[in-house]
Amino acid sequence: MTRITLHKNEEKRIKSGHPWAFSNEIREVAGEDTGPGAAAELYDAGGGFIGCGHYNPRSLIAFRLLAHRREDLDSVEFYEKRIAVALAHRRALYPAFATFRAVYGESDFLPGLVVDKYGDRLSVQFLSAGMDRRRDILLEALHRLFAPAGIIARNDVGVRLLEGLEERVEVLAGEIPDLVEMEENGLRFQVNLREGQKTGGFLDQKENHLLLKGVCGGKAVLDCFCYTGSWAVHAASFGAASALGIDISARAVAQAAGNAELNGLAGRAVFEECDAFERLRSLHHEGRRFGVIVMDPPAFVKSRKNIAEATKGYLTVNRRALELLEPGGYLITCSCSYHMGREPFRDLLAQAARLARREVRLVTARSQAPDHPVLLSFPESEYLKCVVLQAVG
């Protein structure tokens, strides 16, 4: 097995539980196989064994730790056991659910692997060279544990480029229909596993959708960046007088309308294809007001270098949303960008309130659903912020 030795004093973070070693922390790489995805053992500068994992000389994240003891990283059994533990955790969380995130990368000690279960279909992502190199091994483990009707690889994500991998979508096993139906909180949704966002749907918001219950009854609700309508459909099901979803994607709006109809809510949940930034402005000019507004945009912050630009975008949409709130109304606002920290996000919301000349109070703050667990030694695993504010004046 390839042997990787760190520079002096570079082992502290990874020995504390963080699963990555960066290329500039590595002093020496020795072995017959030093190519992308090679199985490797990691040692500190004094020769002490740290653990084993996957090595990629093409990536800034040069080593991803899988185990603190020696393991056979090219055996089906190793990955089957790891995935089985992750699956058991989800079964305990959601015993009646057929749709959930079954494997969440580093948080399940399988860095570079994501597995989402949509009924009897799996949508997977091989985000590192190590996992991509072992796709056949991983597929065998998934077949043993899930016996799925189909598996699709949603490898159309930019992080693969950083690993020296190409972006692509491919069906790896069985059949993947154009639309797959899933259930969430007693509601039915159709998701596109081939072309939808992320792996097809947003499974991380399923518990946050319940925040609408009890606050939207009899009120007008606005769902910005609605995608396929999850927030708006939930609001209508919880008794909203009306729910308007807006999104720039014609395909998403059509699918959202179909999801409303699927649940018998087409009369109360309606959708518009438009630019959310512009529509927020025009709604203000029209004098429209809403009792609840949901702001769940795509990730504005793709990397640290565009934080300033992204902050401006978050500030603009939240200020405009607060201007549209009725007195006593609620803003449920989210950021799915890891680089937008929890405290900076709260600070910009406070600034948005000042610009909108609204007095607001924090009702609650949430994160992602527990099938996307956060590894405390790996802060990168917590990315979702969901904040509920009430306009008190």
Q: Which residues are catalytic?
A: 336
Task: Please name the amino acid found at residue 58.
Answer: R
Two tokens at 73? 């990283």
Write the CA distances from 376 to 132, 382, 389, integer angstroms. 26, 9, 27
Q: Which among 278, 277, 261 has a CA at the least distance from the CA of 269? A: 261
Q: What are phi and psi of 61, to 5 degrees?
A: -85, 90
241, HSE (Cβ side, Cα atoms, 13 Å)? 7
Two tokens at 377? 């030694």
How many whole angstroms separate alpha carbon 131 and alpha carbon 192? 24
Quick one: CA torsion of 345, 351, 355, 358, rounded to 10 degrees? Answer: 90
How far from the centroid of its chain's Cα atoms is residue 30's Cα? 36
Quick one: CA torsion of 146, 152, 155, 157, rounded to 10 degrees? Answer: -90
With a CB cutoff of 8 Å and minimum separation 6, the contacts of 317 are 224, 276, 277, 280, 295, 297
